[in-house]
Structure 1
Amino acid sequence: MEFSRRNFIRLGALSSLSSILFTKASAESFIQKDSFNSEKDAFKLGMAGYSFVNFNLDDSLKMMKRMDIRYLCIKDFHLPLNSTAEQVAAFHQKLSGANVTGYAVGPIYMTKSKTEIDNAFDYAKLVGVDLIVGIPNKEDLEYISKKTEEYNIRYALHNHGPEDKLYPNAKSIYDLINHLSPKMGICFDMGHNMRDGREPSADLKSYHKRIFDIHLKNVTEATEKGSTCELGRGIIDVPKFVKTLRSVGYAGKCSLEFEKDMKDPLAGIAESKGYFQGVCDAVK
């Protein structure tokens, strides 16, 4: 890493400060006053909806509003797949009230039948997003490729690490889709990629033209035993990753997915956001 001693100390201080301040009454004002989603970078910070699996939509949006995170990948436990147009309109109204935009739906599992695929595309169209994050069967990829062209909706396959026999890492997805529609891509989970022994920055550089979405997280080990953790505490070189995002001109969302302490995630998400912003501010 090409960091000066001053920047290195600054990053450490920022990460520690975000944790300390969040435990005090002034946490909300500290978090709200920053504005990560500036025009400095083409990529924007978001939240992967799965982080809020234990919370209803209202409480999830309260957390996002406190942290000034403005983009959400929508999960079906907040907006069911069988929602009506009226329910979708009410959902978007709630998001708007929190200054949040739903930019994608998923991950959605669709491994039982093509009907699940058809329903997912109808759902995305009704919700009004242009990106589905999904986990399909390999034999359905050609069918999905045609659907992306028919609906003009992109489809990003999510990698889930060494336990995932379908799509463990970004390369496994790229090798299956590189000959298909350019609307077929990858939701790049950098943590699971690392757990499968593949360095995230290298794979981002190699496959960036097909990476439509990124799940930001860190992990404790580059093995199946590795667990997810706060962004600044794991083994992934986040400053290098940010430099790679800029060098390849990535213009999608980088969505925090916090899978540690999922019944009490706010402090960890805030720490991760503070660290990521500190890195983005310090890296040249």
Structure 2
Amino acid sequence: MQSISRRTMFAGAAALAATLPNTLEAFAVAAPGVTIGVATYSLRKFQRPQAIEILKKLNVQALSVKEFHLHYTDTPAQIAEGVNEFKAAGLKILSGGNIGLAKPEELRKMFDYAKAAGLPMMVCAPSHETLPEVEKLVKEYNIKAAIHNHGPEDKHFPSPQSVLAAVKNMDPRMGLCIDIGHTTRAKADLVASIKEAGPRLFDMHAKDLVFENGKWTQVAVGDGHIPIVEMFKTLKALHYTGGVMLEYEINADDPYPGMERSLSYMRGVRAALGA
């Protein structure tokens, strides 16, 4: 379990918050440091208007938007309309994805989509074969590519190290999105991976896991075995400026309770470390 329990972490943060004019929750949301947001894959069962309402209720400001909520097949005008709906709700899109970039014939189409959506970064899944062309398009479109590791089943990029090895001599806009759950399943050290990535670390997908009955099972962040506190300490020490985006993959029909629990824990850890 986490080295700082929920009860201990919130007790300490509450004591500090008592000296401040705002509530603990407001302090935790506004605390400086790492950006905590949501990968909208977490809300894949909800249409964009419903997803936006849930995100507002969760007091989220930063997003990595999934195709469910900004469709690849939309026209540029429709994509712009969707982006404006997020903006009107006070939501900032930091990236889009995960976007598959393994089919050569679809690469430019996906970059055109990202351009239409105004995405500064694509969280993506290329293959080793398409990687050189992806780099060319990154240079052409000036859109970062954060390659997402997908665990031991991924024949191309199972771990952060596999991504870093592939992009080490490439354009600096070619980097990494660490999925902390898949990193754990790939038996890579999460904290060491963050340090190893350095400036190539562009984004993170956050979740938590427990190992039970011979397999990994996802739980709310803070309830599992992933070292969330050490992760945030390391990100703070490295002056990481990217996002830590909650990707809540369980309870798809009713994700709000688990998402709220996860975000509260991460915000509390960030606030305590910021203090």
Question: Which residue of 2 is the match for residue 26 of structure 1?
Answer: none
Question: Which residue of 1 is the match for residue 62 of structure 2?
Answer: 71
Question: Which residue of 2 is the match for residue 38 of structure 1?
Answer: 30
Question: Which residue of 2 is the match for residue 190 of structure 1?
Answer: 180
Alignment-mate amino acid for residue 272 of structure 1: S
Alignment-mate amino acid for residue 106 of structure 1: G
**SS of the residue 1:220 aligns to:** strand
Q: 1:220 aligns with which of 206, 210, 221?
A: 210
Which TM-score applies when normalising by structure 1? 0.86
Alignment-mate amino acid for residue 96 of structure 1: K
Structure 1 ranges of 4+ moved more than 4 A: 12-15
% identical aligned pairs: 31
Question: Which residue of 2 is the match for residue 116 of structure 1?
Answer: 106
Deviations along 1:137-175, whole A, 9 cap, x unmatched? 111111111111111110011111112121111001101
Are 1:240 and 2:230 an aligned pair? yes
Tell me, in whole angstroms, the C-alpha distance in 1 between the residues paired with 2:28 and 2:266.
Answer: 9
**SS of the residue 1:226 aligns to:** strand
Q: 1:147 aligns with which of 137, 143, 161?
A: 137
Which TM-score applies when normalising by structure 2? 0.88
Deviation at 1:281, TM superposition (A): 1.9
Deviation at 1:73, TM superposition (A): 1.0
Deviations along 1:195-231, whole A, 9 cap, x unmatched? 1111211110111211111001111139982122111
Deviation at 1:39, TM superposition (A): 5.8
Deviations along 1:113-133, whole A, 9 cap, x unmatched? x22111111111111111011
Are 1:269 and 2:259 an aligned pair? yes
Question: Which residue of 1 is the match for residue 18 of structure 2?
Answer: none
Tell me, in whole angstroms, the C-alpha distance in 2 between the residues paired with 1:241 and 1:228.
Answer: 18
Question: Which residue of 2 is the match for residue 51 of structure 1?
Answer: 42
Alignment-mate amino acid for residue 130 of structure 1: P
Are 1:90 and 2:81 an aligned pair? yes
Question: Which residue of 2 is the match for residue 24 of structure 1?
Answer: none
**SS of the residue 1:239 aligns to:** helix
CA contact 1:162–1:224 (8 Å) conserved in 2: no
Q: 1:60 aligns with which of 43, 51, 54?
A: 51
Are 1:103 and 2:101 an aligned pair? no
Deviation at 1:12, TM superposition (A): 6.1
After the TM superposition, which of the residue ranges 93-102 and 67-76 deviates more from structure 2? 93-102
Are 1:177 and 2:175 an aligned pair? no
Deviations along 1:257-280, whole A, 9 cap, x unmatched? 001211110000000011111111
Number of equivalent positions? 263
Deviation at 1:50, TM superposition (A): 0.9
Tell me, in whole angstroms, the C-alpha distance in 1 between the residues paired with 2:45 and 2:265.
Answer: 24
Tell me, in whole angstroms, the C-alpha distance in 2 between the residues paired with 1:170 and 1:223.
Answer: 26
Tell me, in whole angstroms, the C-alpha distance in 1 between the residues paired with 2:96 and 2:248.
Answer: 17
Greater RCO, CA 8 A, separation 6+: 2
Mapping for residues 245-264 of structure 1, pairs under 5 Å: 245-264=235-254
After the TM superposition, which of the residue ranges 59-68 and 217-226 deviates more from structure 2? 217-226
CA contact 1:47–1:69 (8 Å) conserved in 2: yes
CA contact 1:195–1:222 (8 Å) conserved in 2: no
**SS of the residue 2:155 aligns to:** coil
Question: Which residue of 2 is the match for residue 11 of structure 1?
Answer: 9
Tell me, in whole angstroms, the C-alpha distance in 1 between the residues paired with 2:31 and 2:250.
Answer: 30
Are 1:200 and 2:190 an aligned pair? yes
Deviation at 1:282, TM superposition (A): 2.0
Instruction: Provide the alpha-carbon RMSD of the alignment.
Output: 2.4
Deviations along 1:11-34, whole A, 9 cap, x unmatched? 26699xxxxxxxxxxxxxx99x62
